[in-house]
């Protein structure tokens, strides 16, 4: 495809232009539509739709977001992976997201790695500088293209548009992990796309905030905390960071310094196997127990699916979080 084509969404009837190399998801978001999605990288099925007319090619034909039944039907597509090969009509129900039309529009980003360091075994931090500032909301992520054309989602750990900070936990055997942990170096050029993500800081923040992070889920939670502390009247913010062992904790000094600088921010470290200066247990359980002391709150979570799924239902049953005030990012 060498020229923009028109994509129509049903049943809403809204249309938008999709340019060469753009996925249907990216083009729809760029047009201001509340396209449904979560991971934006093919691992979930949140953006799944039915192709009613036209033809598409998939960036990742084996994407986990489509099951075998979807593939047998032949007309199911993931909007985040679909490159239209002409005008298309796609059946997908737009999301009901307040403020979706004001979200930053995703675009291609060229960037250069400035800093790369190992925090603890299996976890790295790297900072890159985009050619142009990237406006993003605290808690959002970008897609990083790795060799071979595959894309992986990584959340920003900061709030500044001039640089993008990332914390990545190694996934043994993962193609993206091999590239980041074995090949990436300062000075390397990166191809990114974004920003994406709807687990971002909501403002005004009128209620206390409870933030739960597991592993590299700390990255977007640090961004959310930093964004909240920069508000003219910051709400009370409680960050619970969990790990399996003391050796898996990282950026503790930086978080403690942030807590010392902001009386409205408190940090609780939670280690399953126990550690000095940390609560012993599971981070979701410890955070839920602390929520019982609050009348109401906003809840932000990021980390492994097991953490999110185990915490989500008890949080909703608690009566402490108003409907629509739970924002989470599963690290698939």
CATH code where residue 305 lies:
3.40.50.80
Write down the pLDDT at residue 63: 93
Asked whether the beta carbons of 94 and 34 are under 8 A apart, the reply is yes
Give residue 74's domain range. 5-100
93 plus 108 within the same structural domain:
no
DSSP at 182? I
Cα separation, 182 vs 14, in Å, equals 45
Q: Are residues 60 and 129 in the same domain?
A: no
Q: Do 127 and 187 have their domain in common? A: yes
User: CA of 187: how far to CAs of 116, 240, 261, 295, in Å?
Assistant: 10, 34, 33, 49
pLDDT for the residue 130: 98
How big is the chain, counted in residues?
332
Domains of the chain: total: 3
Residue 224 is classified by DSSP as H
Determine the Cα–Cα distance for residues 288 and 242; give it in Å rounded to an integer: 13
Is residue 264 situated within a structural domain? yes
- Neighbouring-strand partners of residue 314: none
DSSP state letter for 15:
E
Report the distance separating Cα 73 and Cα 66, nearest Å: 11
pTM of the model: 0.94
Same domain, yes or no: 37 and 139: no
Task: Please report, for residues 134, 146, 163, 167, the alpha-carbon distance to residue 110 in angstroms, rounded to integers and kept in the order given.
Answer: 10, 13, 12, 19
- Are 218 and 313 part of one and the same domain? yes
Chain CA centroid to CA 125, Å: 16
With respect to residue 305, please indicate whether it lies within any of the assigned structural domains.
Answer: yes
**What gap in Å lies between CA 275 and CA 249, rounded to an integer?**
10
Are the C-beta atoms of 195 and 277 separated by less than 8 Å?
Answer: no
Tell me the mean pLDDT per 10 residues along the chain, length 332.
91 96 96 94 95 97 94 96 97 83 92 97 98 97 92 96 97 90 97 96 95 97 98 97 97 96 97 96 97 96 96 95 92 84
């Amino acid at each position: 495809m060498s020229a923009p084509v028109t994509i129509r969404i049903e049943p809403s009837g809204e249309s938008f232009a999709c340019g060469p190399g753009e996925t249907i998801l990216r083009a729809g978001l760029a047009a201001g539509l509340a396209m449904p999605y979560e991971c934006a990288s093919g691992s979930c099925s949140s953006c799944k739709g039915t192709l009613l007319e036209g033809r598409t090619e998939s960036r990742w034909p084996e994407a986990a977001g489509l099951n075998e039944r979807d593939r047998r039907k032949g007309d199911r597509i993931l909007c985040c992976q679909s490159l239209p090969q002409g005008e298309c009509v796609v059946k997908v129900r737009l999301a009901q997201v307040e403020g979706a039309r004001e979200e930053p529009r995703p675009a291609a980003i060229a960037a250069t790695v400035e800093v790369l360091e190992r925090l603890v075994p299996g976890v790295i931090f790297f900072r890159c500088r985009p050619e142009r500032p990237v406006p993003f909301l605290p808690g959002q992520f970008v897609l990083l293209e790795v060799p071979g054309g595959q894309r992986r989602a990584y959340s920003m750990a900061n709030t500044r548009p001039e640089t993008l900070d990332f914390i990545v936990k190694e996934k043994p055997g993962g193609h993206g992990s091999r590239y980041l942990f074995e090949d990436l170096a300062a000075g390397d050029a990166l191809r990114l796309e974004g920003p994406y993500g709807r687990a971002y800081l909501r403002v005004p923040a009128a209620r206390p905030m409870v933030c739960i992070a597991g592993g590299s889920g700390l990255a977007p939670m640090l961004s959310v905390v930093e964004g909240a502390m920069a508000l003219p009247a910051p709400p009370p913010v409680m960050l619970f960071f969990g790990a399996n062992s003391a050796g898996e904790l990282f950026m503790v000094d930086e978080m403690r310094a942030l807590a010392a600088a902001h009386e409205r921010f408190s940090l609780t470290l939670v280690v399953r196997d126990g550690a000095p200066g940390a609560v012993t247990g599971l981070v979701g359980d410890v955070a839920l127990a602390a929520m019982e002391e609050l009348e109401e709150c906003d809840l932000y979570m990021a980390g492994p699916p097991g953490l999110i799924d185990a915490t989500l239902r008890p949080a909703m049953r608690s009566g402490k979080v108003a409907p629509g005030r739970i924002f989470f990012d599963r690290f698939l």
